[in-house]
Amino acid sequence: DTAGKVIKCKAAVIWEKSAPFSIEEIEVATPKAHEVRIKIIATGICRSDDHAVEGKLSNVKFPIILGHEAVGIVESNGENVKHIKPGDRVIPLFVPQCGQCMCCKDSRSNICIAAKLKKSVGVMSDGTTRFTCRGKQIYHFVNTSTFTEYTVVEEMAVTKIDSGASLDNTCLIGCGFSTGYGSALNTAKVHPGSTCAIFGLGGIGLAVIMGCKIAGAGRIIGVDVNPDKFNIAKELGATECINPKDYDKPVAQVILEQTGGGVDYAFECVGHIETMLAALNSSHFAYGTTVIVGVSAPESTITFDPMILLSGRTLKGSVFGGWKSKDSVPQLVSDSMAKKFDLEKLVTHRLPLDKINEGFDLLHSGKSIRTILLV
Ligand code: CND
Ligand code: ZN
């Protein structure tokens, strides 16, 4: 029985910006009040983790344990944890839901203010971390930190899921699947018969396609500079795919021509300013909606003529697909168990945690969609 004791276990630590993952023995402290200690079973590799390694996220301090897309089992609780008990299957929530703040109480937002107001980044609410390694404190990542055998999260950053849920690909509901799927259903509110364009066909963009298809979109245009992604995009519902490199004019112009004036919904799932502008410029001048999902480098700015919005275009974005995490994740897990969608389609590789660097190599080379690390 490990409850009440410090746990020594394996984790993948990033010691400094751009360094490779280092498999280390770490100590995981006991959870404090309102905290939950989780045994991670499976965790996916998302491009946001890679942005963090490269120092392209503002809320990251090194050394750190990254990872935010996981499924696991509760090992023990701190005091005053109400709705979760040891043995429960859970998904950590990188966008927490305290349920009490102004945004949690407002149906229009899924951004929890309690989590945003923390004094400093990479620590728990009391200002300290639960991880140490070689005598140094290791920082947490976006309320989760899942590239480890054990992690500690706040109760508002974890939700119980069905006890029969798979302890493998269900991890994709912790980020990639839900982010893309919700961007189509919640943020854009794709309507039946509409035309959609998805820039970037990684795990996020492909999940947008799954959402557009379920919403009944008539045309779903996948856009990627890597044509190896086109087969899977079509299998998931893309009706056509465009490689911008095949044309000597801007991809937005190609889409305007092919759609007779622009798409109803454009989604940016890359994280580059150029693709954000291309998405905006490929949306219909009167009623096109552009959704930014990709995460751009800190302090990037986007420049466009504001007049392009006057005729009726909408530009918006969302985090975690607009889902109120604690409320929605259990339902998404049930929908997955009921085969409403197939998470396995997004999984191309499985590796043990020890081979995490290989997993990131696969992401860099464009060979993987989602790699699941089995912890
Ligand atoms: P991944 O790297 O798997 O996919 C990106 C895709 O974009 C690849 O297929 C690339 O080939 C393609 N691409 C690159 N350049 C271009 C280009 N110029 N034109 C068209 N396609 C291009 O990444 P992912 O799917 O894991 O993540 C995508 C983005 O979403 C990334 O920025 C990530 O940080 C972000 C994200 C956002 C959120 C959120 O809540 N909003 C959550 N997780 C990840
Ligand atoms: Zn992610």
Beta strands in the chain (DSSP E): 7-13, 22-28, 35-44, 70-77, 89-92, 131-133, 136-138, 150-154, 158-160, 195-199, 219-223, 240-242, 265-268, 289-292, 314-317, 347-352, 370-374
pLDDT digits (tens, 9 = 90+) for 135-151: 999 999 999 999 999 99
Which ligand has the shortest distance to the CA of 294? 1
Provide DSSP, 107-118. TT----HHHHT-
> Residue 58: pLDDT band by 50, 70, 90 thresholds?
confident
ipTM reported for the complex, 2 dp = 0.98
| 365: CB partners within 8 A, 6+ apart | none
pLDDT digits (tens, 9 = 90+) for 211-236: 999 999 999 999 999 999 999 999 99
pLDDT digits (tens, 9 = 90+) for 67-104: 999 999 999 999 999 999 999 999 999 999 999 999 99
| Pocket mutation for ligand 1, best pick of 58, 171, 178, 224 (most atoms within 8 Å of C-beta) | 224
End-to-end CA distance of the chain: 20
**Ligand 1, atom 1: nearest CA belongs to which residue?**
202
Contact criterion met (CB below 8 Å) for 368 and 259? no
Mean pLDDT calculated for residue range 104-118: 88
**Ligand 1, atom 34: nearest CA belongs to which residue?**
48
Contact criterion met (CB below 8 Å) for 64 and 138? yes
Q: Tell me if 294 CB under 6 Å of ligand 1.
A: yes
Say how many C-beta atoms besides its own lie within 10 A of residue 260's C-beta. Answer: 8
Contact criterion met (CB below 8 Å) for 28 and 375? no
Nearest atom in ligand 1 to the alpha carbon of residue 295 is 32
Q: What separation in Å is there between the alpha carbon of 48 and the centre of ligand 2? A: 5
How many Å apart are CA 227 and CA 241, to the nearest integer?
Answer: 8
Orientation angle between helical segments 251-259 and 273-281, nearest 10 degrees = 20
261's torsion region: left (phi>0), alpha (psi -120 to 50) or beta?
left
| 47: CB partners within 8 A, 6+ apart | 202, 203, 204, 271, 295, 363
Provide DSSP, 301-348. -----THHHHTT-EEEE-SGGG--HHHHHHHHHHHHHTTSS-GGGGEE
> Residue 257: pLDDT band by 50, 70, 90 thresholds?
very high
Active site residues: 46, 48, 51, 68, 175
| Pocket mutation for ligand 1, best pick of 270, 275, 318 (most atoms within 8 Å of C-beta) | 270
Long-range (24+ apart) CB contacts under 8 A made by 360-363 are 360/21, 360/45, 360/49, 360/50, 360/53, 363/45, 363/47, 363/50
Contact criterion met (CB below 8 Å) for 309 and 283? no
Contact criterion met (CB below 8 Å) for 21 and 40? no
Contact criterion met (CB below 8 Å) for 268 and 200? yes
Which secondary-structure segment (H or E) carries 175? none
